[in-house]
Amino acid sequence: MSDDLHLDFTFAAPIQSVYLALTTRKGITCWWTTDAEVGVAAGDACTLRFPGVGIEFGMLIVEHAPFDRVHWRCVASVHGGDSALGEDGWRGTELLFNLRPEDGMETRLSLTHLGMTPERESYGMTQEGWLHYLGDSLRGYLEDGEGEPYGCGD
C-alpha cells in the first residue's frame, strides 16, 4: 500500500457539478482560492495563489477525463519563509481526483496526492488543507452554493 496522501469524500451533488468545480476557473475560485488562472486541457498550465501567506502553486494539467478523472502535476511550489509547507512544498507531487457516481445524485470523490507522503515536511499542512478545502469548502459550494475559498473574507 502506498503512503501517498489519500482522502475520500461523498457530495450530495451530480458528478457533472463536481467535475466542473475541479476543472474550471469559476469552480476553483468558488472553493479553493479566489486568485487562480486555470487551463482547460492536457498540457495547459494552472496557477493557484494564496498571497496572504505567500504560497503559489504552478500546475500542469496531465488529464481532464470528463466526469471521471482530473490529474494535475505540480511543477512549481513557491511559499513564504515561515510557511508550514517547508522546503519541499508540493513540487513534483501530483493531484489525482477520481469521480464516481453514487446512489441518486451523490458523487464520490477520491483524492490521491501522489508523492505527498508522511516523510515530506508539507504533509501535515497539506492534509489539513485538503480536509478544509474539499471537506468543507467544496462541499459547501456544491451542496449549498457557498464555498470558503482562500481570499474570500480573509
61-118: per-residue pLDDT in tens?
999 999 999 999 999 988 775 555 666 689 999 999 999 999 878 999 999 999 999 9
Per-residue confidence (pLDDT) for residue 85, from 0 to 100: 65
* Structural domain for 110, as ranges: 5-144
* Residue 14 lies inside a defined structural domain of this protein: yes
State how far the Cα of 20 lies from the Cα of 17, in Å rounded to an integer.
5
- The arithmetic mean of pLDDT across residues 4-28, rounded, is 97
CA 107 to chain centre: 16
27: pLDDT strictly greater than 70:
yes
Q: Specify the CATH number for the domain of residue 71.
A: 3.30.530.20
Block residue for cell numbers 469559476: 26
* Residue 153 lies inside a defined structural domain of this protein: no
* Residue 115 lies inside a defined structural domain of this protein: yes
Rounded to two decimals, the pTM is 0.93
C-beta of residue 119 within 8 angstroms of C-beta of residue 142: no
* Residue 58 lies inside a defined structural domain of this protein: yes
C-alpha radius of gyration, the chain, whole number = 15
Give the count of domains, the chain.
1
Give me the DSSP letters along the chain: ---SEEEEEEESS-HHHHHHHHHSHHHHHHHTBSEEEE--STT-EEEEEEGGGTEEEEEEEEEEETTTEEEEEEEEEE--TT-TTTTTTTTT-EEEEEEEE-STT-EEEEEEEET--TTSTTHHHHHHHHHHIIIIIIHHHHHHS----BTS--
* Residue 87 lies inside a defined structural domain of this protein: yes
* Residue 12 lies inside a defined structural domain of this protein: yes
* Contact residues for 145 (Cβ-Cβ < 8 A; gap 6+): none
